[in-house]
């Protein structure tokens, strides 16, 4: 992977991630495909929308379908018929999301799968091994993600453990043949001194890119924005910066303005399943009864498959009947919306008009 910056507007960057046979423009948003699928849409539909990079979850894919199935196809790309690129999450976030089902030690994490009771002892080495049999294009080092509300001492211990795990992750990654790219993860909660310590130690190890972890886990927005800027200013200019798990449009825009290049989040797909649809004039809650007789499309400016073929009334009807087609159409629209949003952000950076773009968005879209 090679990262090039083509233009800057303030701290924001327009650039490209080159993977030999594919070039991906940044800033970029990755839809989340936890189990090797973006819920509700096919790989072919994602390509038609313009998506080139998605996220898969090493932890969950290890349990289902497992190594034997995926390696029989050669890699995760072939298994899901995906022609684009894949970044895999290492499993560190599951320490936060499945805290009641795991026990952490310096050696690794004992997990109990909440769905079937299966056990997994996940170490930095095991996480890298899983991601390498998936053959992901961007591998994440194993880290410990914990709540921002923990004490300074607790988060300090977690940061130190994540640094030790990062060293082990890189050592294991370097042993692999045909390896791609490895990203390190900056932790430290809402404490600037711990974030600084994490940055310094991760830079000593050296990675192909750097992720900002432990955000969007309940911390106040003002803390998140200020920390993102402070961290970005300390990271190498020539390396891509990835903000993990942050996906509200306004948070993406503010983070882009502070120098972030990559994002992932379940928001567009999860919101679609729950009837929250993004438009250029704000969110439409399609379950609202006022849409029962609405002949209009979701968004007159949107050219996605859903908006060019179906009315709000029909989407409302599908939602009320709990028809799976409604989830599919909603998901196609929301992913398309995010694809257009990222393209608009890139164009605004190219034209040095990002600040105006964000101001216009706040005026037009944050009324609902």
- A 10 A CB-CB count for 339 gives 20
With a CB cutoff of 8 Å and minimum separation 6, the contacts of 333 are 272, 277, 278, 298, 299, 302, 304, 306, 307
Burial of 263 (0-12, 13-18, 19+ CB in 10 A): buried
Prior bond of 27 cis (ω within 30°): yes
Q: Cis (ω within 30 of 0) for the bond into 65?
A: yes
Catalytic residue set: 89, 264
Nearest Cα to Cα of residue 198 among 240, 154, 156? 156
Q: What is the CA radius of gyration of the chain?
A: 20
d(Cα 42, Cα 140) in Å, to the nearest integer? Answer: 25
Give the angle 187-190-192 at the CA atoms, nearest 5°: 80
Compute the distance between CA of residue 260 and CA of residue 168 in angstroms, rounded to an integer: 26
CA distance 217 to 96: 9
Q: Indicate the pairing of strand 262-265 with strand 28-33.
A: parallel
Query: Which residues touch 100 (CB under 8 Å, ≥6 apart)?
Result: none
Q: How far apart are CA 368 and CA 365, in angstroms?
A: 7
Residue 99 in tokens: 């805290």
Task: Give the residue carrying structure tokens 């977690």.
Answer: 158
């Amino acid at each position: 992977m090679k990262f090039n910056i083509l233009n800057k507007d303030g701290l924001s960057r327009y650039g490209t991630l080159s993977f030999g046979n594919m070039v991906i423009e940044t800033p970029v948003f990755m839809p989340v495909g936890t189990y090797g699928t973006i819920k509700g849409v096919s790989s072919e539909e994602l390509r038609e929308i313009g998506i080139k990079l998605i996220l898969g979850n090493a932890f969950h894919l290890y349990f289902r379908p497992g190594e034997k199935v995926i390696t029989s196809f050669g890699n995760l790309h072939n298994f899901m018929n995906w022609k684009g690129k894949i970044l895999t999450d290492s499993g560190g976030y599951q320490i936060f999301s499945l805290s009641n089902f795991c026990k952490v030690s310096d050696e690794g994490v004992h997990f109990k799968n909440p769905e079937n009771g299966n056990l997994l002892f996940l170490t930095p080495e095991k996480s890298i091994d899983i991601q390498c049999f998936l053959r992901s294009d961007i591998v994440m080092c194993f880290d410990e993600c914990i709540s921002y509300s923990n004490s300074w001492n607790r988060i300090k211990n977690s940061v130190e453990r994540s640094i030790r795990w990062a060293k082990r992750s890189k050592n294991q990654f370097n042993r692999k043949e045909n390896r791609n790219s490895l990203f390190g993860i900056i932790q430290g909660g809402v404490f600037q001194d711990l974030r600084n310590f994490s940055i310094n130690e991760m830079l000593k190890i050296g990675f192909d890119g750097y992720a900002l972890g432990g955000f969007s886990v309940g911390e106040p927005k003002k803390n998140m924005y200020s920390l993102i800027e402070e961290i970005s200013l300390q990271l190498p200019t020539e390396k891509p910066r990835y903000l993990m798990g942050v996906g509200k449009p306004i948070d993406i825009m503010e983070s882009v303005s502070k120098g972030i290049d990559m994002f992932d989040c379940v928001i567009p797909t999860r919101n679609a399943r729950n009837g929250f649809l993004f438009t250029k004039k704000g969110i439409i809650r399609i379950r609202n009864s006022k849409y029962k007789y609405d002949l209009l499309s979701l968004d007159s400016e949107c050219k996605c498959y859903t908006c060019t073929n179906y009315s709000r009334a029909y989407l409302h009807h599908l939602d009320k009947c709990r028809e799976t087609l409604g989830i599919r159409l909603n998901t196609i629209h929301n992913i398309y919306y995010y694809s257009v949003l990222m393209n608009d952000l890139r164009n605004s950076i190219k034209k040095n008009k990002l600040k105006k773009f964000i101001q216009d968005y706040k005026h037009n879209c944050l009324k609902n």
